[in-house]
Structure 1
Amino acid sequence: MLEAIAKADTLIEAMGWIRRFRGKTTVIKLGGSVLDDDNALLHILLDVIFMETVGMKPVVVHGGGKAINRALAEANVEPQFIQGRRYTDDMTLDVVRRVLAGDVNRHLTEEIERLGGRAMNLSVHTTNVLFGERLKLETGEDLGHVGKVTEVDRDVIEGLLYTDQVPIIPSMCEDRDGNLYNVNADTAAMAVAQALGAEKLVFLSDVNGVRLDKDDPNTIIHSLSEAKARELIASGHIAEGMIPKVEACLETLDRGVGKVHIIDGRLRHSLLLEIYTSEGVGTELFREPPTATA
C-alpha cells in the first residue's frame, strides 16, 4: 500500500508540470551513443510516447554518426573530420542518405509505432522538411556535401503534431536545386526548435549536464541562467567541448525557444525526470526575464 501511495504522490507531482506543458512543443535531439544502446533508446522512446499521450507535442531530430561509421567501414571508406564536422564526399553522402535518412529514420519511427505510439518519418525519402545551403567555413576549408539549415517547413511538422503524431526528422537538408547535404544534428535540432518556437529543446548527451568540474558528475548545475553561463565560460569552469554546446544553447534562447536542457540520455526515463519533476536530472538553461524599469 505504501508503494502504491508513493506512486500516486509521484503522479500528483507530475500533474502540475503536465498541465503547464500541455499543448507545448518540445524538440528532442537524439544521437551519439544513445542510438547504439538498445535499452536506453527503448526508455527514451517510451518517454516520448508518454509526453505525447499527456498532451505535449514532441518532435525528434536525430543523427546517426556511429551507424554511418559502420556503413563506411563496410565499404572500406575511412571517415574524415574537419573542425569536428564530417567531410562528406559523394560516397559518404550516399551512405548518409541510405543510413541516416533511411535505416535509422525508419527504425525510430517503427519502434515508436511498435511501442504503441504514432510517428511519421520526415526525410528526403518521404517528405523533406529541412532546407538549406552548403556550409562554408571561415577558414575556407571544403567540407564537401555538408550544409546548414536555413528554412524549416513548419506546416508539415505542425500538421503532424495536430494529429497527435511524433515527427521523426534526420539531420539532412536540401537546397533549392535539389542538392542534398549532411547537417550537424545539434544545429538541425536548434533550427527546428527556433522555427517552431518550441517551449523546450532537449539535448540527449553522454554527460549529465553542465558541470563546475567537467570530470565530476556530482558538480552538475541543475539550473543555469544566461548571465551565469557566460560568467562560467569566462572563468574557465565551462571549458573545452562544452563551450560550443552551451553557446549554441544560449543562441537558441535568443531566438525564441523557452528553455534548453542538456541531460544524460543513458539514464532510464531521463526525459520524464527532467520535464515532469521539480528537481530534474540535467541542466536547464534559461534567459532571465527583462528587469522592469520605472
Structure 2
Amino acid sequence: MIVVKAGGRIIRDNFEQLVNSLSKLNEKVVFVHGGGDIVSEYSKRMGVEPVFVTSPEGIRSRYTSKEELEVFIMVMNLINKRIVTGLVSKGKKAIGITGADGPSVLAQRKKKIVIVDERGRKRIIEGGYTGKITSVNSDYIVSLFSSVDSVIVAPLAVDLEENTLLNVDGDQMAFSIAKALKAETLVFLTDVEGVLFEGKVVPKMSVTEAKEMSKKVGAGMNRKILMAAEAVESGVGKVIISSGKIEDSINNALKGNGTVIV
C-alpha cells in the first residue's frame, strides 16, 4: 500500500495529469490532497478575506476562523469529489473521506498559537479552527480497500470533544496516515524536483542524513524532511519527495526520481 500527498498548487495547476497518474496505479493508494490556494479563491468570492500567520520557525500558514472553516470544508469536499469523479470515470473504484468518516482521523483543536507579528514580535493568539492530529484509525481505512482501489482524503480531521471538523496540515495528515498504515512508500509531490541543496537534487538520504539536511534547507522543506525521517523510523518503508508538475508524476516518483529517504 502506498500513500501519496499533493499540495494545493499541484491540484490547481496539474489536476488532470495528476488524476491520470493516480488512475494508472496498480496498487492500493491513499491519496491526501491539499487545496489552500483554491480555498483562498473561494473565500474571497464569498467575502471572507483569508488570513495568514507566520510561526517563530518562519512557516506561513492559514489562520482558520469559524467563517473560513465553513469555506474550507466546502472547498475541500469539492476538490475531494472532483478527484473521486475523475478516477471512477476512468474505471477505478474510489471513495473520498474526511477524518470525520469512521471516524478515521482524530485531532485536537489548537487553543492558542504563537505567531510572529508584522513588527517581528512573538505573540500568543487564539488558535482558531486548526488542529493537531492525535490518532489515525488504520483499521477503518484498511477496511475501505475491501471494496475500493483508492481512498481520497481531505485534510480535515475531527475533534470529538468540541464536535467540530478542523483544518489540519496536509503534510501532517499524509505522514500520520502513512505511519499508522506502515505504508510501503509515501510519495510527496511538490512543485520542485526533490530536496534541493546547493542547486542540485539530493537523490537519497538515510534518516540520519535527513535530520542533518533539515538544518540546511528552508522552513517549508525542513519540516517535510523531518516528518519523512520520523515516518521511516515509525515503519514506513521509504519516503519520496518528487515533482508533481510532470506527466505521470506518481510513477515517476516510484521509480526513484526525486529524493528518496530510507
TM-score by length of structure 2 reads 0.87
Measured at CA, do residues 153 and 230 of structure 1 come closer, stay the same or move farther in structure 2, by a change above 3 Å? closer
Which has the higher Rg, Structure 1 or Structure 2?
1
Residue in 2 that maps onto 1:226? 207
Q: Is the contact between residue 148 and residue 188 of structure 1 (CA under 8 Å) also seen in structure 2?
A: no
TM-score by length of 1: 0.78
Equivalent AA in structure 2 for residue 68 of structure 1: V
Deviation at 1:206, TM superposition (A): 0.6
Cα separation, partners in 2 of 1:247 and 1:265, compared to 1, 3 Å: same
Q: Write the letter of the residue equivalent to 1:134.
A: R
| C-alpha spacing 1:88/1:120, structure 2 compared with 1 (3 Å) | same
CA distance in 1, matches of 2:189, 2:71: 24
Whose strand proportion is higher, 1 or 2? 2
Structure 1 portions without partners, runs of 5+: 1-24, 287-294
Any idea what the Cα deviations from partners look like across 1:44-88, whole Å, max 9, x if unmatched?
22222222x3xx211011121011101111122221122222111
AA of the residue aligned to 1:205: T
Distance 1:89 1:224, change over 3 A: same
Say if 1:32 and 1:206, in contact at 8 Å, map to a contact too: no
Separation (CA, whole Å) in 1 of partners of 2:89 and 2:180: 29
Secondary structure at 1:262's aligned position in 2? strand
Q: Tell me, in whole angstroms, the C-alpha distance in 2 between the residues paired with 1:181 and 1:175.
A: 7
Distance 1:130-1:166 versus aligned 2 partners, 3 A rule: same
Name the residue aligned to 1:272. 251
Correspondent of 2:16 among 25, 38, 42? 42
- Among residues 74, 88, 91, which one is paired with 1:113 in the alignment? 88
Q: Tell whether 2:231 aligns with 1:252.
A: yes
SS of the aligned residue for 1:202 comes to strand
After superposing the two structures, state which structure 1 stretch, 135-144 or 61-70, moved more: 135-144
Q: Does 1:190 align with 2:175?
A: yes
Distance 1:167 1:149, change over 3 A: same
In the alignment, the residues of structure 2 paired with residue 253 and residue 137 of structure 1 have an alpha-carbon distance, to the nearest angstrom, of: 30
- The answer to whether the 8 A contact 2:95-2:148 is kept is no
Asked if structure 1 preserves the Cα contact closer than 8 Å seen for 2:113 and 2:127, the reply is no
Deviation at 1:126, TM superposition (A): 5.8
Q: Which amino acid aligns with 2:69?
A: L
Query: Is there any run of 5+ residues in structure 2 with no aligned partner, and where?
Result: 115-123
Q: Give, in whole Å, the separation in 1 of the partners of 2:214 and 2:143.
A: 40
Residues 32 and 205, structure 1, Cα contact 8 Å, conserved in 2? no
Which of 208, 213, 221 is equivalent to 2:193?
Answer: 208
Give me the whole-angstrom Cα distance separating, in 2, the residues matched to 1:254 and 1:240: 22
- The residue that corresponds to 2:151 in the other structure is 167
SS in 1 for 2:125: coil
**1:137 shift after superposition:** 5.6
CA distance in 2, matches of 1:77, 1:125: 25
- Aligned-partner Cα distance in 2 for 1:285–1:65: 26
Q: Which residue number corresponds to residue 80 of structure 1?
A: 51
Q: Which SS does the other structure have where 2:24 is aligned?
A: helix
- Over the matched positions of the two proteins, sequence identity in percent amounts to 30
Cross-structure match for 1:68: 39
- How far 1:222 moved relative to its partner? 1.4
| Displacement after TM superposition at 1:157 (Å) | 1.4
CA distance in 1 between partners of 2:220 and 2:98 (Å): 29
Shift of 1:136: 4.9
CA–CA distance in structure 1, aligned partners of residues 180 and 169 of structure 2: 17
CA contact (8 A) 1:79 1:86 kept: yes
Deviation of 1:152 (Å): 1.7
One-letter amino acid of the counterpart of residue 4, structure 2: I
What's the CA shift for 1:103?
Answer: 0.7
SS in 2 for 1:76: coil
C-alpha contact (below 8 Å) 2:130/2:166 kept by paired residues: yes
- Give the drift of 1:138: 6.3
Alpha-carbon spacing, 1:157–1:126, altered in 2? closer, same or farther (3 Å): closer
CA RMSD of aligned residues (A): 1.9
SS at match of 2:197: coil
